[in-house]
Amino acid sequence: MNNQPLLEAVNLSKRYEDGALAVNNVSFFVKPGEIFAMLGGNGAGKTTTINIFLNFIEPTSGEARINGISSHVEPLKAKQHVAFVSENVMLYTNFTAIQNLDYFVRLGGKTQYTKDDYRKVLLRVGLQEEAHNKKLKGFSKGMRQKCGIAVAILKDAPAILLDEPTSGLDPKSGFEFIQLLDSLRNEGKAILMSTHDIFRAKEIADTIGIMRQGNLVMQKSREELSGENLEQLYMNFMAGVYE
Amino acid sequence: MTKLIIEKELRDIIGSTKFAVTFSICSVLILLSFYIGAQNYRVAQAQYEASKSANVRQYEGLTDWMRVHSFKIFLPPQPIATLVSGVSNDIGRTIEVRGRGELRSQDSRYGDDPIFAMFRFLDLDFIFSIVLSLFAILFGYDAINGEKERGTLRLTFSNAVPRAEYITGKFVGSFLALTIPLLIPILIGTLFLPLFGISLSANEWSALALIVAAGLISIGVYLSLSLFVSAKTERSSTSFLLLLSIWILTVMIIPRLSVVGADLFVKVPNMDEINSQKSRFMSQIWNEDRTKLNGFTTTNKNDVQALMNEFNKYMQNLADEREKKYNEFAMRLNEDRYNRQMEQQQLALFFSGISPSALFSLASSEVAGTSLKLEQEYLAQSKEYQKEYAKFMKEKTGMNMGGFAMVFRKITDDNAEKPTTININEIPQFTFKPIEASGGIGPYAGYAGVLAAFNLLFFAGAFAAFKKYDVR
């Protein structure tokens, strides 16, 4: 497995027009087969960081790289190597789950799949077969989230960005999701996940970063964190105890 | 990529309730417009034939061409005018032709049935310029900001999707989705036309094709405008309100204001004013001629026939002189009014040119032969006919009848030889040559060109706005 970072933030900063500093000189990387969990409260800069990776916003300075490609210099090229699942996956409600998959997967550049492939992946993410050909109008958030993950899996990009992916999921779905992430990691995907969920982060992540007011105030590997009380650590960072 | 987005857009719209509603309304309206148009055409055709027969019948039994003071001609209904009526219902269909004098059309369809003038007819012009323009807005008002509100824009642009291809796909997909509820009923309607008793000539088929093409370009304008507004606003409710206001302005207000505005800049004397001046002038020269009657002298006092001929000749000369003076005067007034009217029309057309709906109406009426030119063309052809009629009547009576004239006529008594009746069918027939689609192609191309330019302008605006659009 190539051990070069697939996702990399290099001195990344973003200051909005109103002067607010959303991300301040943040640097980290995620290698293949790794999960990086970004913890932090609301407004900490987690989503802004992901948005920079997706070129939804441009950095004020620094660079976000996907597979070595700068996301704001060559956004189209960079996005070919990344899949994205948002906090609240929104798909076309007039389409069935399979139709949505077909559209977004082809949009992601993959045209080789059959309906059977779509069914298999939907079953893998835990969406019941009877829902596959139903329009998304009546889908719950969890069901839509599963469709979104299926899209990310089928895109088969080496890197995956997840913005609060377990938010609002019931415990069973949350557990299934973590298992899925584990299997994706085992396939060699580099995963950057923003979350509020300390316990799931601790359970799955190889590296945990804590963001506060745009700064990456802590970045520790699973090994470095072993024996530490992550919840206490997080609360202390949030309270600015170490400043 | 663009093809994929077009396919998705088509599938998304076709599966939506708004498409079902649009398709139903368009189908009903378009098929109804074809049916009503066909019915109107048949009624108008029957009326036309009846009027022609009645006109001939009133001269039946006449034995003297001198008693044929005038002959009515009629504007025949045109099949294509039933689909794009333009001004065809506003102008008079009947002209009473005399050997000399001005021609005026009367008996317009709206004059006969004022209720139709109040609410107008249901035709393709109405459907395209009012109904479909509104549907275009309904299809496009949330094309961009709606996707953002629904959250699908983030997922879309997390992929390597070029914005140019996305907005092009959006436009083309929505446009194609809008053409389905339009073209299917039009196709069915045209197939039904022969069943409704209407057969279109090759010229009229090309006119219909050009009308549909202009209609498509005009709804493209509203669609690209909707994309532009949708890409410039954050909320779909805002873009809807804004677009609805623009629709009201361009469809309802600008065409009306353009005429009022043109009237403010260029004053055209009204017909009553002109007629009053002409009438005063005619009375004046008639009074002058009456005094000239005293100057008539004859050497044929004992020969009644010769006296009559001499008097008629004298009167004819006076009438010719009078007509010449009157015509010069009337021509001056008419020309002045016509020039001002043209100036006013041009200004009104210029002002209305910012309304895509008005541009479509103008373009379609040009190729349908129902534009403002129709009345001018009808009058021009009537004037040509008047010459033919005058020549014929002069051959028959020795005089060019019409206007004021005093004529001595010999009435036979019962003992005389019974005169033969005249054959009124000998009068030259008036055949109106409709304005061909090719005749209106120049102005049509101009109007359609402006519509196409609007399309490009709004699409370029939408493209520029979307380039900077925050898709989060």
ipTM: 0.91
Measuring CA to CA, how many Å separate B193 from each of A161, B34, B35, B186, B197? 60, 7, 8, 10, 6
Q: Which residue in chain A is spatially nearest to B14 when comparing CA positions?
A: A94
Is the pLDDT reported for residue A239 higher than 80?
no
- Is A80–B160 a contact, with Cβ atoms under 8 angstroms apart? yes
Q: What is the CATH number of domain A1-81+159-169+192-243?
A: 3.40.50.300
Residues of A in contact with B15 (CB under 8 A): 94-95
Report chain A's mean pLDDT, rounded to a whole number: 88
What is the domain range of residue B243? 1-472
Nearest to A94 among B12, B151, B157 (CB): B12
Residue B249: predicted pLDDT: 93
Nearest to A94 among B16, B160, B162 (CB): B16
The count of structural domains within chain B is: 1
Phi/psi at B298 (nearest 5 deg)? -135, 155
Residues of B in contact with A79 (CB under 8 A): 158-160
Residues of B in contact with A51 (CB under 8 A): 472
User: H helices of chain A, where?
Assistant: 46-53, 75-79, 97-107, 115-124, 141-155, 171-186, 198-204, 222-225, 230-239
- How far off is chain A from B214, nearest CA to CA, in Å? 32
- Is B155–A161 a contact, with Cβ atoms under 8 angstroms apart? no
Q: Which residue in chain B is spatially nearest to A53 when comparing CA positions?
A: B158
What tens digit of pLDDT does each residue of A33-42 get?
Answer: 999 999 988 8
- Is A90–B161 a contact, with Cβ atoms under 8 angstroms apart? no
Measuring CA to CA, how many Å separate B324 from each of A213, B69, B389, B397? 96, 20, 18, 21
Give the number of other CB atoms < 10 A from CB of residue A177.
23
Residues of B in contact with A82 (CB under 8 A): 158
Residue A31: predicted pLDDT: 92
- Is A161–B8 a contact, with Cβ atoms under 8 angstroms apart? no
Is the pLDDT reported for residue A188 higher than 80?
yes
User: pLDDT in tens for each of the 472 residues of chain B?
Assistant: 889 999 999 988 888 888 999 889 989 999 988 888 888 888 888 888 998 888 888 888 778 777 888 888 998 988 888 888 888 888 888 998 888 777 888 888 777 777 777 777 788 888 888 889 999 999 999 999 999 998 899 999 999 999 999 999 999 999 999 998 889 999 998 888 888 778 888 888 888 999 999 999 999 999 999 999 999 998 999 999 999 999 999 999 998 899 899 988 988 888 888 889 888 998 888 888 888 777 777 777 777 788 888 888 888 888 888 888 888 888 898 889 889 988 998 899 899 889 999 999 999 999 888 888 888 889 889 999 998 888 888 887 776 666 555 555 655 555 556 677 888 888 888 888 887 777 788 899 999 999 999 999 999 999 999 998 988 8
Is the pLDDT reported for residue A220 higher than 80?
yes
Residues of B in contact with A86 (CB under 8 A): 151, 154-155
Q: Are B151 and A86 in contact (CB under 8 A)?
A: yes
Residues of B in contact with A91 (CB under 8 A): 152, 155
Give the number of other CB atoms < 10 A from CB of residue B427.
20
Both tokens of B432, joined, read: 């109106």
Which residues 149-178 on chain B approach chain A with CB closer than 8 angstroms? 150-152, 154-162
- How far off is chain A from B170, nearest CA to CA, in Å? 14
Residue A51: predicted pLDDT: 93
* Average pLDDT of the segment spanning A218-230: 83
Nearest to A79 among B12, B159, B471 (CB): B159
- How far off is chain A from B141, nearest CA to CA, in Å? 17
Which of B6, B155, B471 has the highest number of chain A CBs within 10 A, making it the mutation to test binding with A? Answer: B155
Q: Are A191 and A159 in contact (CB under 8 A)?
A: yes
Q: Which residue in chain A is spatially nearest to B7 when comparing CA positions?
A: A103
- Is B15–A79 a contact, with Cβ atoms under 8 angstroms apart? no
Please calculate the CA angle B332-B337-B341 and round it to the nearest 5 degrees. Answer: 150
Could you tell me how many CB contacts below 8 A there are between chain A and chain B? 70
Residues of A in contact with B1 (CB under 8 A): 107
* Average pLDDT of the segment spanning A39-50: 89
Residue A55: predicted pLDDT: 92
Nearest to B155 among A75, A99, A104 (CB): A104
CA end-to-end span of chain A, whole Å? 39
